[in-house]
Chain A
Amino acid sequence: DAMVIQNPRYQVTQFGKPVTLSCSQTLNHNVMYWYQQKSSQAPKLLFHYYDKDFNNEADTPDNFQSRRPNTSFCFLDIRSPGLGDAAMYLCATSSHREQGYEQYFGPGTRLTVT
């Protein structure tokens, strides 16, 4: 089945130690998104790629970076994780960026910072 896959499902990292989360999709969608979701809160968009075009949200900290080497894969890099970065990180894809096209979410990676 076509789907959005995130690895790992659970990640533990140390304060200040760089960490990379990965997302892959078999839907061949043009758009890939990264969201941060903290406990009991709604997902918050960090950035998205429209093909290779990177779009950062204005309030996304510089500590968060992303790479999309090809259509299928997208990575979230946290350069120096702080305790406040502990959250669920959700990857989503969409065939189009405009309204009317739903976003398909992966299962998420839960990041713990010790």
Chain B
Amino acid sequence: GESVGLHLPTLSVQEGDNSIINCAYSNSASDYFIWYKQESGKGPQFIIDIRSNMDKRQGQRVTVLLNKTVKHLSLQIAATQPGDSAVYFCAEISDRGSTLGRLYFGRGTQLTVWP
């Protein structure tokens, strides 16, 4: 079956440094990906998305890179701040056949930002 997973369960960075969170996916037919941020006790919050016809997409302080050759996705956070501390999930939406509308989440990476 399809799966979206993360390489590292935890990541600690110092405030001001850049953060890179990685994600591997197994479904080569996947063509839409989302990064979510989930703070403790809250629901996931949309950060940025990317389609498979793109290699890179930038938002405010965040960049998502997609490497379809190795089925790898990454989220880069520039100048990481304490408020960025959260669990980050990559997710794929599938719209094929019976899996229409399903959001497949990866395992999650806990990002901790130290002052």
Interface size class of B (residues with CB under 8 A): 20 to 34
How many residues on chain A are close to B (CB under 8 Å)? 29
In contact, A42 and B89 (Cβ under 8 angstroms): yes
| Bound Cα distance from A43 to B4, whole angstroms | 12
Q: Which of A66-101 contact B (CB under 8 A)?
A: 90, 92, 94, 97-101
In contact, A42 and B106 (Cβ under 8 angstroms): yes
- Determine whether B15 belongs to the interface, using a CB cutoff of 8 Å to chain A: no
| Bound Cα distance from A108 to B36, whole angstroms | 15
| Bound Cα distance from A113 to B41, whole angstroms | 18
In contact, B106 and A98 (Cβ under 8 angstroms): no
Residues of B within 8 A of A102 (CB): 34, 46, 49
Residues of A within 8 A of B93 (CB): 98-101, 103
A104: nearest residue on chain B (CB-CB)?
B46
- Please give the distance in Å from B93's CB to the nearest CB on chain A: 4
Residue among A99, A101, A102 facing the most chain B CB atoms (10 A cut-off): A99
In contact, A105 and B101 (Cβ under 8 angstroms): no
In contact, A107 and B101 (Cβ under 8 angstroms): no
Residues of A within 8 A of B34 (CB): 102
Chain B contact residues, CB within 8 Å of chain A: 31-32, 34, 36, 41-46, 49, 51, 89, 93-95, 100-103, 105-108
Chain A contact residues, CB within 8 Å of chain B: 4, 6, 31, 33, 40-45, 48, 50, 55, 90, 92, 94, 97-108, 110
